[in-house]
């Protein structure tokens, strides 16, 4: 009986030991098994919205249009003794030949935009009409010629009872100096006297000649060799003529307001 009891106690102890071992094993597995790593949700990065690329400013250099300007101003002066000789009154006539480089049609070149300038005053100009009565040398104002671009010539006048010291022309707010000053001469006719005699009338209605232009006279010369003499302020070439046919004389004047009812040239025969 005692052995059966001991046997039962031994079985119970074995079962208890097995249960304790199973519990220990479970606890061991639970405590030693690696814990799963926490799932890390990566932060949501908002999608980058593509930025509109602004192109660099385009540098556009506008074509620079050159301004209309005066290229040259020539002033011709007819003094009272000259205008009286020409029959247009005892007054000063200032004749302007203005060369303009006109770049655009909208840039005006009419008479109203030009002024004559002296040391202490400006003067309105008028269209050239008096000296151009002799059109061999002086052109009139012509509006039709000014309706274009390019190089144009504007012919203007200023009439005064007193002398004026004109030194510039004002155009579109800018002043341009007078580059050329020429006096006008009045010569009604030319005579050659001496060894032979010839007469030549000057050209034009008013007998006006700008002193910067050589005056040409064609004559017939009798046989022989002749020397031609001129008064002061006048130069004649050639000074010696071989006669027996036609000859051409070129007459030049000093830049003065000369007046000759008759310009006499002497002819002397050379031996």
Give, for 14, the enclosing helix (H) or strand (E): helix 2-32
pLDDT at 36 over 90: no
Annotated domain spans of the chain: 69-178, 185-270
pLDDT at 17 over 60: no
Nearest residue to 71 via CA among 91, 98, 46, 95? 98
The reported pLDDT for the residue numbered 24 is 41
Residues in the chain: 271
Question: Which band of pLDDT confidence, cut at 50, 70 and 90, is reported for residue 64?
Answer: low
Q: What is the average pLDDT score of the chain?
A: 83
Q: What is the pLDDT of residues 109-146, one digit of tens each?
A: 999 999 999 999 999 999 999 999 877 899 999 988 89
pLDDT at 6 over 50: no
- What is this structure's pTM? 0.74
Residues 6+ apart with CB under 8 A from 182: 74, 75, 76, 77, 210, 211, 212, 255
260: tokens are 């000759």
C-alpha 198/C-alpha 149 separation (Å) is 48
Q: What is the pLDDT of residues 107-118, one digit of tens each?
A: 999 999 999 999
Output 48 or 187, whichever has higher pLDDT. 187
Question: Which band of pLDDT confidence, cut at 50, 70 and 90, is reported for residue 66?
Answer: confident
Instruction: Give percent above pLDDT 70 in the chain.
Output: 75
């Amino acid at each position: 009986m005692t052995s059966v009891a001991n046997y039962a106690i031994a079985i119970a102890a074995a079962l208890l030991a097995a249960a304790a071992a199973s519990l220990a094993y479970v606890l061991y597995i639970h405590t030693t098994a690696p814990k799963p790593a926490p799932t890390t949700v990566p932060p949501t990065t908002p999608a980058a919205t593509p930025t509109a690329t602004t192109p660099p400013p385009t540098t556009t250099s506008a074509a620079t249009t050159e301004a209309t300007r005066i290229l040259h101003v020539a002033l011709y002066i007819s003094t009272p003794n000259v205008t009286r000789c020409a029959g247009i009154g005892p007054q000063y006539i200032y004749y302007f030949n203005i060369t303009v480089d006109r770049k655009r049609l909208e840039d005006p070149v009419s008479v109203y935009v030009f002024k004559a300038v002296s040391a202490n005053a400006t003067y309105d100009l008028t269209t050239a009409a008096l000296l151009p009565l002799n059109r061999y040398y002086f052109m009139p104002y012509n509006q039709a010629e000014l309706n274009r671009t390019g190089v144009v010539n504007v012919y203007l006048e200023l009439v005064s009872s007193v002398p004026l010291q004109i030194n510039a022309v004002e155009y579109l707010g800018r002043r341009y100096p007078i580059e050329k000053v020429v006096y006008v001469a009045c010569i009604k006719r030319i005579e050659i006297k001496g060894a032979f005699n010839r007469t030549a009338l000057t050209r034009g209605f008013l007998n006006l000649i700008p002193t910067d232009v050589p005056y040409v006279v064609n004559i017939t010369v009798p046989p022989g060799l002749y020397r031609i003499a001129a008064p002061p302020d006048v130069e004649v070439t050639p000074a010696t003529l071989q006669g027996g046919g036609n000859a051409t004389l070129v007459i030049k004047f000093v830049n003065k307001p000369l007046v000759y009812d008759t310009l006499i040239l002497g002819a002397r025969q050379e031996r």
